A = this chain, B = another copy of it.
Amino acid sequence: MKLITAIIRPFKIDAVREALTEAGVTGITVTEVKGFGRQKGHTEVYRGAEYVVNFLPKIRLETVVADELVDQVLAAIRHSAGTGKVGDGKLFVCAVEQAVRIRTGETGVDAL
């Protein structure tokens, strides 16, 4: 099993979810995060005090999938999350040694 972590633009979340569902993914966990990267931030000004805001709102999406699904899932996210502009985000893949479904105690791919 692999954990695929995607950092994407917030307004792309629904499109990505649909693409993933189509690709056979049944579970997703998302987090609101702030990202720093090549995409440039903006300046905020409060009564003359200027703040450069480098951290931009992003969504961090995690899904654990069976090994054979990985390529398909990466492709699905890439296509649904891209705009072609700087700041589209990243995909990271890590190995998952074990998965357990809390409700039933099922383990491995059955738990997903």
With A and B bound together, what is the CA distance between A45 and B90 in angstroms? Answer: 34
The reply to whether the CB of A69 lies closer than 8 angstroms to some CB of chain B is no
Chain A count of residues within 8 A CB distance of the other chain = 53
With A and B bound together, what is the CA distance between A102 and B30 in angstroms? Answer: 17
Q: Which of B31, B77, B94, B100 contacts A3 (CB 8 A)?
A: B94
**Known: A31-B60, A105-B78. Contact between A111 and B97, CB under 8 A?**
no
The reply to whether the CB of A38 lies closer than 8 angstroms to some CB of chain B is yes
- A102 & B91 in contact (Cβ 8 Å cutoff): yes
With A and B bound together, what is the CA distance between A98 and B29 in angstroms? Answer: 20
- A85 & B98 in contact (Cβ 8 Å cutoff): no
**Known: A17-B54, A35-B27, A38-B26. Contact between A90 and B78, CB under 8 A?**
no
